[in-house]
Every structure is written in structure tokens, then in C-alpha cells.
Structure 1
Amino acid sequence: MSSERSRKRKECIALGIHIERHGDEMAPCTRCEKSVDFEGRPRRCVAIPDSKYNRCAECSRQGKPCDYRERNQMPTLSDWASIEKQKERFEEEEERAAAQAQEAMARVARIRKQKRLLLAREKKMILAGLNSLDELDAAEELERKEKEEQEEKERREAEVARLAALPAPTGSNPGSVLGFDPALGLDPAFFEAFPPNHEMWATLDFGDGTPE
């Protein structure tokens, strides 16, 4: 019995040496994955896939079961299809998450802008001695109208200056001014901008008075 065990042991060692010499390094089986060689490095798992040997070199030497074939089994078409399906799902989830993150960032930006505007109005209300936002709205509306009136006044004054700079045409009526003959009348739009009671007319000499 002892000689039989010794013979089998020698056969296992010889088989392990054969596989080590003629095999290829594979993804480690469970035994090789958990063990190291005599130098303390991770043990190489060497096997001959295209053969009748179902164990790696190390498992053959020890006469132990080996799962290197299961560990190195190539994926089937079904496995590849499953992987592709999962990849597509992850990509879709990533795109949705990115879109949601972008929307959230835009919303945060809007909220921050609204907050800045509110704080600015609050400061303005305090400086103006107002007690509510309604009073501030009224004050801002008044300020807006005053600004529009000032801009309109400046526009009219600029128009007067432009007309005053125009040379009078040769042979024009002595009473003509600003390059036009009062007897011929003006564009109605001009009198809309400068009604008869406008201060501009007081600066002009028409000879026979302000146009009616």
C-alpha cells in the first residue's frame, strides 16, 4: 500500500512537471490564487487547456482538485449579450443623471441670481427708508418715469441743437429759421416733439411770433 501511494505520488509530480514545461499561464485557480511560490510571490497557474488534463501543474503535483477551467471559461454569446445590455443600461442611467445634474445646476444658478436681486432690493429699501417692497416698487417706478422724462428732454434738446446748426437755404423767406420756411409748415411729428408752449420756441426769432 505504501509503495502504491509512492508510485501515485511520483506520477502526480511527473505530471505537474510536464504541465509546467508545456503549458501556458492561466488565470489562477482557487488553489494557486491563495498560495505563493518558494520566493513568496503569487504562484503562477500553468495548465494545458487543449488537452485531457483538467488540473493545473500545481494541483496535479499535489493530486488535488482544480477549477482552472471554470476560472478561464470564455463567455458564451448569451454572456456577451447580457454584458452589452448592462452597458447600455448604465450609459442610459449616466445620461439621465448628467441631465438631472445639469438641470439642478441651472436651477441653483437661477435661485442664486434671484437671491442676489432680493438682497440688493432689500439694501436699497433700507437706504431709502422704505417700509415694504410695495413702497420700493412705487419708488422704482417713479425713478423710471423720471429717467424716461430726462432722456426725452435730452433727445429734444439734441434735436434743437441739430436743427439750429443747419444753414438757412439761399433766398429763403426772411422769417425762415432752422432751414425751413414757417409759411410752408413743418412735419406734424416736429410739433409733437416741440409743442407751441415748449421752451425751445422762446429762443428763436420768427419775426411775426411763435408759430400757431
Structure 2
Amino acid sequence: MPPDRSTKRNECIALGKEIDLSRIKMAPCTRCSKSGFGNECTAPRDKSLSRCGRCTKNGKTCDIREVNRMPTVRDWESVDAQIQRLEDEADEALAKVLRANKQKKLLYARKQRMIAAGLNFLEELDAAEELERKEKERERNEQREKEAARLAALPIPTASDPFPDLVLDPAFLETLSGDPEMWATLGFGDGTPEVPPSTG
């Protein structure tokens, strides 16, 4: 039959009180230190017993002997090795950060060069388009000037010669010479216009 819970609790309290009577004060165990029970614990006189009075009363495990034992050379070496490992990890992490920052600066510089190249390309494209526009405008102006010169070279019509540029083919006029009424309608009076002699 398992012991009654209340009986076990009473026994733990009584045992803890006996440990407190030993008055062997030590640095607090981990549990008491975290719980804020002061700066010391009472340990049993028997060094093989590893519970302080307070942990015994509460029925908890305790590491008072481990906390208060004399560190060995191996303990120091273990702690030093852990410190060195953490320092190495910190150095490696710092080196990674420095490499990352350097790479980031290089990428930022590359980005700025890409932006500059893009702007230069746009400026060159704008310049080429402007040059093409001016060339087309120059060609249009030349065409307008040629047309204006051609029109200026044309003879000016007069009342006696309303069609100064009109050159009639003699052979064509001969075919129409038999129709005086048509010529009168065209303004040549009562007769057929004189056919210029053929130069052929």
C-alpha cells in the first residue's frame, strides 16, 4: 500500500527542519536562487546527501552539492572551451556580417552604375530622336523652298495670254480646225486659231 500523501508531506517537512538545525550554510541551490529565497541554503552534514532544507521540505530535487563543490581542472577546461567556442562563433558571425555589408555595398554601387547607364541610354535615344526630327524638318523646308522657287519661276497669266504655259500640239489643233463654233466658245472669236507650223 503506497504511503499517504499527507504523511509523506509531513515527513518531508520534519526532515527539512532537521537539516536546518545542522546550520551548515552554503550558496543557494539553483531552485532556491531562482525562487528568490535569499543568498544561502542550509545543507545536511552528510556530504552524500544532496538536498537543502528548503527543497527537502517541498519534496523537490536539489543541486546544492553540485553548486557548492570545489571546481576541478576539468570544470575550468570545460568552461574555457565553451567560452572559446562562443567567441569563435561570434567571430565567425561578425565576419559574415562584414562580408554581407561589403557585398551589399558592391551591389549598391552596381545598381547606381545600372541607373547611370539607363539614363545615358535614354539621353542618347532622345538625342537621336531629336536629330531625326530636325532632319525631317530640314527636308520638309527644302521641299517647300523648291516648290516655292518652282512656283515663282512660272510665267504670270495676262488678259491676252491667260495660259502662258499652255503649249498646244499642232497635230491636235489640226483635228479641231474644222469646228469654228467650238473655238468661238473658247474665246478665239469667229475663226479657228492659227496652227503653229510644225518643227518636225
TM-score of Structure 1 vs Structure 2, range by shorter chain: 0.3 to 0.5
TM-score, normalised relative to structure 2: 0.42
Larger radius of gyration: 2
